[in-house]
Structure 1
Amino acid sequence: GGNVEIISRARIDIEAMRLMVLKAARAMDVLGNREARVWVSMVKAMVPERACQIIDQAIQMHGATGISQWTPLASMYTDVRHLRFADGPDEVHHLVVGRNEIRAYEGGGEDVTASVVWRN
């Protein structure tokens, strides 16, 4: 029961992350790198954080085996964890996204996350 739901949620999150990466890439193509910064920051904040959580849950499901060298999980966790600061800490990416949201709703700037990303 519980593990099946954890696996389901992991698959759903992985697919959502893939879509976010595609949307960020599309924003780079359509808007340019500077204007796509918010999308890139969203991906840089979301993907490593959620990937760490998914791997941690897999480790938990495997018990002590999950942290042994018998599975790749401990190594995977280490590899993914460093991404949360390698390209700037999570807080910096959240700052970029949060400021964009505040500007968009205060009327002081353009919402660069608008659907223009999907227009040809």
Structure 2
Amino acid sequence: MRGTARFSNLQNIAELSQKMVEVKIHTVFHLVYRLIVLALVLPVATATVERAFSVMKIIKTALRYQMGDDYLTDCVVCYIERDVFRHIDNEVIVQHFQNMRTRRLDSAPLC
């Protein structure tokens, strides 16, 4: 591809992937194209994982002995996806829990 005039002036792999799609050669070299796409996505995926571990460290430090794994998972999801949760009104959540049936069983006295 380097010998072709269309590909000779490319500066980085992002331009290479765009040019492959423009020329429709990405279907011929589909494995090369997939490798390029994965290389382009890798820094974003790594940053996301690092951010998740950073958040987990903050939450775990603050509430070290007061939570189980499920609670920690819920807290981490809420913290990482906080932009999604900003659009949910707290009153809707309160109403949802108030409308739920009580799940506790009435326990009979043992005596």
Say yes or no: TM over 0.5. no
Larger relative helix fraction: 1
Q: Indicate the TM-score class for this superposition, using the shorter chain for normalisation.
A: 0.3 to 0.5
What's the TM-score, normalizing by structure 2? Answer: 0.34
The structure number with the bigger radius of gyration is 2
Give the TM-score of the pair, scaled to structure 1.
0.32
